[in-house]
Structure 1
Amino acid sequence: MAAPTGARRGKDAHPNLPITTQEIASETMACRSSGAHALHLHVRDEDGRHSLDPGLYREALQEIERAVPGFPVQVTTESASRFDVETQLNCLRDVSAQAASISVREMARDPELAPRVYALCADRGIHVQHILYTLEDWHKLQVWRASGIVHQNQTDVIVVLGQYAPARYTKVQDLDAVARIIDGAPGRCMVCAFGPNEHRVLLAAAARGCDLRIGFENNIHAEDGTLASSNAAQVAHLVSALASVSLEGGH
C-alpha cells in the first residue's frame, strides 16, 4: 500500500509530495505502475492542511477512479489533533469509501460514539483497518472485539512504528515490541515505519508475514539516506528488494 501524502508534511519537506487532487491521482497511477496494490488517501484543504471534508474526499476519489479505474483506495480518519470522533463519524457517513483506517486510540476519546463508527462501517460495507500505536491500543481493541463494539469481521490492523512529531525514528528491533500484535492479529497485519530506516524495517516486517505500507507520509528518504525522488520510486525500490529476498530464499 502506498501512503504518498499524510497529514503533516508539505512541499517544504519535499517538492514532489502530492497535495492537490490532481497530484495525488497522478502519483497513485505512478505507484500502481511501480507495484503498489492500494492507496492510503489523505486530502488537504485549500491551505494545505489535513482535512476530513467529505466533499474533498469525494472529489479525490472520483479523480483517482478516472486516473486508475478500480484501484483500491483506503481513506484515513486520522484526527491529526484537529478533529473529534463526531467529525470522523460524519466523514465516514458522507463519503462512499470502500475502506478506511481508524485509530483505536482516537475512537477511545468518545466511548459513546465509537460503537456507532464501527456499526456504520459494518452497515456500509466499509473495510476497517484498525490503527495501532502501542500494545495498549491492541489490548483495547481486544476488549472492544470481545464486547461487540468492534464487529467480528473487522479484523485487519496496521501497526505504526515510530512517530512524526516529536520525531521518533523506527529501528528493526522495534518489531519485537509488537510481536504480540503481529502474531495475534486475527486478520491481516500491516506495518508502516517512520524515518530513514523505513525500508529495512519493512523488509523485516515482510519476513514476519506482514503486509507493508510505504510512502512520504512516513519517510521521504531513500535507503541510502538521500532524499527520495518520489513515492513511486520508493515503492519500486521496496518491490525490487522484496523480489530479491524471495529469490534468495528460493535458492
Structure 2
Amino acid sequence: MTPLPRLMVAPNGARRGKSDHPQLPVTDDEVVQTAIACHAAGADGVHLHIRDAAGAHLLDAPRYQALLDRLKDTVPGMYLQVTSESAGLYTAQEQRCMMRALRPAHVSVAMREMVRGPEDWAKAHGFYAWALENAVDVQHILYSPKEVAAFVDAVLRGQVPGDRILVQLVQGSYAEGSKGALDLDLYLAEFDRVEDRVFDWMLCAFGKAETASLVHAARLGGKARAGFENALHHSDGTLAVDNASRIREIDAALRVAVPEAG
C-alpha cells in the first residue's frame, strides 16, 4: 500500500462551481492544468472529481480512466486519487460498481456512504476485501470523532481488513466552514484503541481555519489535503487567486512547522 502524499490538492469537489470562484476547475482540461500548477506549487497528490457536460458531479469509470491517463503523462509521479463520493446522486451499489470497473490505484470512500445502516456491513466488508486483494488503496473518509470511533470498532471486528489503514479526517463543513469544528485530538484518540494496525491519516478542513488546522495536523504526524473543495480563502481572509496559490501558502506553512517533512 502506497503511503498517503504529504500535501494533496482537492481542486473542485462535487458541489462548487464557477459561481463560487471563476478559477475553480470544472472540465477535465481545467483539472489537468490545475494539477500541473499545484504540483509546481508543492502538492504531491491530487484528489479528483469529474463533472458532466452541465458541470454536475459524475461517477464514470471510462471518464475517470481517460483523465488518469492524461495526468500520468503530465504530472508523472504525482499521487492520483479519485473520489467515490455520492453527492446524493448515487447509491452505495453504484459507487462500488464504478470502483470495481475502474480499479483505481487510489480512491477515497466515505464510511457513511458505504455503511448507511448496520445491514450494509456485509457488502462493505466484501468491497474492502476486494480492494485490498486488487491493490486498490482505499482512504476511508471520517467526518467526526463519533465516526472514527465506529470505524475503529469495525477495524477491531475485522470488518475493515489490512495492516495499514488510510484515513481522511474532516474538520468543519461546507455549510459552517470552520465554525463548530471539533478538536483534532478527539479524532486521533480513537486510534489508540488499536495496537496492531498503522493508521496513515490525512486532514482536510473547511473555511478560513484551513491553513492553521493543517499545520496542527502535520505537527501531530498527519498529512494535508487542501484546495477549493474545502476553502477558497487564505489564512489572512483574502480570496485565493487559484488552487495553486492555496497550495503555495500551505506548503510554505508546513515547511516551517515540520521542516523534516518537507
Match in the other structure for 1:190: 202
Match in the other structure for 1:129: 139
Query: Using a 3 Å threshold, how does the CA distance of structure 1 residues 119 and 134 change in structure 2: closer, same or farther?
Result: same
> What's the secondary structure of 1:100's corresponding residue?
strand
What is the Cα deviation at residue 170 of structure 1? 5.0
Unaligned runs of 5+ in 2: 1-7
1:143 matched to 2:153: yes
* CA shift digits 1:30-68 (9 cap, x unpaired): 111111111111111111111111122112112212211
Match in the other structure for 1:237: 249
Query: Using a 3 Å threshold, how does the CA distance of structure 1 residues 215 and 182 change in structure 2: closer, same or farther?
Result: farther
CA–CA distance in 2 between the matches of 1:184 and 1:205?
20
> What's the secondary structure of 1:176's corresponding residue?
helix
What is the Cα deviation at residue 181 of structure 1? 4.2
Match in the other structure for 1:221: 233
Identity %: 37
What is the Cα deviation at residue 130 of structure 1? 0.8
1:84 matched to 2:123: no
1:169 matched to 2:181: no
Task: Tell me which of 21, 26, 29 is aligned to 2:28.
Answer: 21
Q: Is the 8 A contact 1:171 1:201 kept in 2?
A: no
Residue-pair matches, total: 246
What is the Cα deviation at residue 205 of structure 1? 1.2
Amino acid of the residue matched to residue 16 of structure 2? Answer: R
CA–CA distance in 2 between the matches of 1:115 and 1:179?
23
Amino acid of the residue matched to residue 218 of structure 1? Answer: N
* CA shift digits 1:3-45 (9 cap, x unpaired): 1111110000011111111111111111111111111111111
CA–CA distance in 2 between the matches of 1:170 and 1:212?
19
The correspondence of residues 26-41 of structure 1 with structure 2, limited to 5 A, is 26-41=33-48
CA–CA distance in 2 between the matches of 1:72 and 1:10?
24
Match in the other structure for 1:4: 11
> What's the secondary structure of 1:131's corresponding residue?
strand
Q: Is the 8 A contact 2:165 2:200 kept in 1?
A: yes
1:48 matched to 2:55: yes
> What's the secondary structure of 1:120's corresponding residue?
helix
CA–CA distance in 1 between the matches of 2:27 and 2:70?
11
What is the Cα deviation at residue 204 of structure 1? 1.2
Amino acid of the residue matched to residue 51 of structure 2? Answer: R
CA–CA distance in 1 between the matches of 2:192 and 2:226?
21
Q: Structure 1-normalised TM-score?
A: 0.91
Query: Using a 3 Å threshold, how does the CA distance of structure 1 residues 151 and 121 change in structure 2: closer, same or farther?
Result: same
Query: Using a 3 Å threshold, how does the CA distance of structure 1 residues 154 and 130 change in structure 2: closer, same or farther?
Result: farther
> What's the secondary structure of 1:5's corresponding residue?
coil
Q: Is the 8 A contact 1:182 1:210 kept in 2?
A: no
* CA shift digits 1:146-187 (9 cap, x unpaired): 3322112351111100111x3242578632332314666732
Runs (4 or more) in structure 1 with deviation over 4 Å come to: 170-173, 181-185
